[in-house]
């Protein structure tokens, strides 16, 4: 049997700063290595530091290491346009998968492109200007030239079609697997140190405008009278809307009802997810809504806005509200808190839905995309 040799360019992944897209790809490749197919052979191009952090990948696949640290973006981009081209040629590949959203360098091979989101193009506020400039130049060309494009959600596929006029027939939706969830800290300690009382309404997102924290804060104004010991907990990094969120909390006199936590450890984050009464995600833009999936896997009901990728991820396993509707968000949170039967049905549906998002499923999606491109050539 002739085996398809597929190179996977992991050059942009820094093991010291793994994003959800990175975890998704690395976990999926690990799943391929644990049960390798007969017809596809994976060849990796990665930094030495990544291979050191993920030795199972080097053990499972032929690996070529880049002579530069992934954290040095300028050097990395230069090497991708030079060293990668020569390394790919020497490796004798049939196909190259660029996993970083762009297709650097000139490679005389069919290329598959992973596009995780279009934030630098569509929502550039809060994104570094150099990254925005680079992506605006590179992403449209990479999408146009790719033999196929892999995206994590139908939302990203539709944005590619509408924004960049991409050919929908060349786009494969390959959802990410469950994000990593570490060991939780004792919730009593978290509550005592952070001043969290009563039932926890959790919003896990950085304060970017598209995450719509103001909707959740205003919803607490509606909930305050009936649920006197419920706390809205905001976790995630500071974004461009941070000041606006803090001002809204003060103007609505919700200082004791809204707790803003920045820089929480993985253990504290895990504890909040596991003990939340409900997770709210009112974002109007998002490529995958991984916190929603994590919440469902923890047995926590979710309420999301009818925007971004969250509705397709939740389907009928959670409540979906009109985006920007703080009153309806309050209604749905109230229902979760006060209706045990409704809460139980949401928990069961969420657990069932989350179980489908495995690394093996994502791995099969990648392999199918590789095979489909080769079959079409």
CATH of the domain at 113: 3.40.50.2000
* CB atoms near residue 349 (< 10 Å): 17
**280 plus 367 within the same structural domain:** no
Per-residue model confidence (pLDDT) at position 17? 84
> What average pLDDT does the structure give for the chain?
90
Maximal C-alpha separation, the chain: 69
Query: Is the pLDDT score of 71 beyond 80?
Result: no
The model's confidence at residue 1, banded by pLDDT at 50, 70 and 90, is low
Written in H, E and C, the secondary structure of the chain is CCCEEEEEECCCCCCCCCCHHHHHHHHHHHHHHHCCCCCEEEEEEEEHHHHHHCHHHHHHCEEEEECCCCCCHHHHHHHHCCHHHHHHHHHCCCEEEECCCCCCCCCCCCEEEECCCCHHHHCCCCCCHHHHHHHHHHHHHHHHHCCEEEECCHHHHHHHHHHHCCCHHHEEECCCCCCCCCCCCCHHHHHHHHCCCCEEEEEECCCCHHHCHHHHHHHHHHHCCCCCCEEEEEECCCCCCHHHHHHHHHHCCCCCCEEEECCCCHHHHHHHHHHCCEEEECCCCCCCCHHHHHHHHCCCCEEEECCCCHHHHHCCCCEEECCCCHHHHHHHHHHHHHCHHHHHHHHHHHHHHHCCCCHHHHHHHHHHHHHHHHHHC
Please indicate, yes or no, if residue 232 is contained in any of the structural domains. Answer: yes
What total of structural domains would you count in the chain?
2
Query: Is the pLDDT score of 70 beyond 60?
Result: no
Strongest mean pLDDT among 20-24, 104-108, 315-319: 315-319
Please indicate, yes or no, if residue 51 is contained in any of the structural domains. Answer: yes
Per-residue model confidence (pLDDT) at position 74? 65
**257 plus 197 within the same structural domain:** yes
Percent of the chain, pLDDT > 70?
Answer: 94
Q: Which long-range contacts (CB under 8 A, 24 or more apart) does 46-51 make?
A: 46/10, 46/11, 46/13, 47/10, 47/11, 47/13, 47/14, 47/15, 49/14, 49/15, 49/16, 50/10, 50/13, 50/14, 50/15
**155 plus 200 within the same structural domain:** no
> pLDDT tens across 193-208, in order?
989 999 999 999 999 9
> pLDDT tens across 114-144, in order?
999 888 777 777 677 777 777 777 788 888 8
Higher pLDDT, 82 or 91: 91
Residue reference for tokens 């060991």: 183
C-alpha angle 123-126-131 in degrees, rounded to nearest 5? 80
- d(Cα 363, Cα 354) in Å, to the nearest integer? 16
- d(Cα 73, Cα 75) in Å, to the nearest integer? 6
Please indicate, yes or no, if residue 239 is contained in any of the structural domains. Answer: yes
Per-residue model confidence (pLDDT) at position 361? 96
**191 plus 293 within the same structural domain:** yes
Please indicate, yes or no, if residue 182 is contained in any of the structural domains. Answer: no
Per-residue model confidence (pLDDT) at position 375? 76
Instruction: Assess contact for 318 and 304: CB atoms under 8 A.
Output: yes
Domain hosting residue 230, numbered range: 187-354
228 is written with which tokens? Answer: 């006197």
The model's confidence at residue 374, banded by pLDDT at 50, 70 and 90, is confident
Higher pLDDT, 81 or 150: 150
**258 plus 338 within the same structural domain:** yes
Torsion angle, alpha carbons of 139, 144, 148, 151, to 10: 40
**97 plus 132 within the same structural domain:** yes
Q: Give the residue-averaged pLDDT of 152-181.
A: 93
**312 plus 258 within the same structural domain:** yes
Q: Give the residue-averaged pLDDT of 345-361.
A: 96
The model's confidence at residue 299, banded by pLDDT at 50, 70 and 90, is very high
Calculate helix-pair angle for 290-297, 340-354, nearest 10 degrees.
110
**244 plus 295 within the same structural domain:** yes
The model's confidence at residue 179, banded by pLDDT at 50, 70 and 90, is confident
Q: Give the residue-averaged pLDDT of 295-321.
A: 96
Please indicate, yes or no, if residue 55 is contained in any of the structural domains. Answer: yes
336 is written with which tokens? Answer: 């979760």
328 is written with which tokens? Answer: 């309806």
189 is written with which tokens? Answer: 């300690």
Per-residue model confidence (pLDDT) at position 104? 65
**362 plus 298 within the same structural domain:** no
Instruction: Assess contact for 244 and 214: CB atoms under 8 A.
Output: yes
Per-residue model confidence (pLDDT) at position 81? 66
Percent of the chain, pLDDT > 90?
Answer: 68
**268 plus 310 within the same structural domain:** yes
Higher pLDDT, 353 or 120: 353
**166 plus 24 within the same structural domain:** yes
- d(Cα 369, Cα 112) in Å, to the nearest integer? 8
> pLDDT tens across 251-297, in order?
999 998 999 998 899 999 999 999 999 999 999 998 999 999 999 99
Weakest mean pLDDT among 7-11, 18-22, 71-75 = 71-75
CA atoms 84, 85, 86, 88: torsion sign: positive
* CB atoms near residue 361 (< 10 Å): 15
């Amino acid at each position: 049997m002739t085996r398809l040799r597929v190179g996977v360019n992991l050059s942009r992944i820094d093991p010291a700063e793994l994003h959800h897209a990175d975890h998704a790809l690395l976990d999926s490749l690990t799943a391929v290595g644990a049960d390798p197919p007969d017809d596809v052979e994976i060849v990796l191009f990665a930094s030495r530091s990544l291979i050191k952090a993920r030795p199972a990948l080097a053990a499972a696949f032929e690996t070529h290491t880049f002579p530069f640290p992934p954290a040095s973006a300028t050097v990395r981009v230069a090497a991708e346009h030079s060293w990668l081209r020569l390394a790919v040629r020497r490796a004798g590949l049939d196909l190259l998968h660029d996993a970083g959203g762009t297709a650097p360098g000139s490679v005389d091979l069919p290329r598959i492109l992973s596009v995780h989101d279009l934030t630098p193009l569509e929502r550039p506020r809060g994104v570094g200007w150099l990254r925005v400039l680079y992506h605006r130049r590179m992403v449209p060309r990479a999408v146009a030239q790719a033999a196929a494009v892999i995206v994590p959600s139908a939302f990203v596929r539709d944005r590619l079609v509408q924004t960049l006029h991409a050919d929908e027939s060349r786009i494969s939706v390959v959802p990410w697997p469950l994000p990593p969830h570490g060991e939780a800290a004792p919730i009593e300690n978290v509550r005592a140190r952070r001043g969290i009382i009563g039932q926890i309404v959790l919003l896990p997102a950085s304060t970017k405008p598209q995450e719509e924290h103001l909707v959740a804060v205003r919803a607490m104004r509606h909930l305050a009278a009936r649920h006197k010991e419920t706390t809205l907990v905001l976790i995630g990094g500071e974004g461009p809307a941070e000041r606006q969120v803090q001002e809204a909390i003060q103007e609505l006199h919700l200082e004791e009802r809204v707790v803003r936590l920045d820089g929480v450890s993985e253990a504290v984050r895990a504890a909040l997810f596991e003990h939340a009464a409900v997770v709210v995600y009112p974002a109007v833009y998002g490529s995958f809504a991984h916190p929603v999936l994590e919440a469902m896997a923890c047995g926590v009901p979710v309420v999301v806005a009818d925007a971004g990728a969250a509705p397709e991820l939740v389907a009928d396993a959670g409540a979906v509200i009109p985006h920007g509707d703080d009153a309806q968000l309050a209604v749905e949170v109230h229902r979760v808190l006060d209706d045990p039967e409704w809460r139980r049905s949401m928990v069961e549906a969420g657990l069932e839905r989350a179980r489908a998002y495995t690394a093996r499923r994502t791995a099969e999606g990648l392999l199918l995309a590789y095979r489909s491109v080769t079959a079409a050539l």
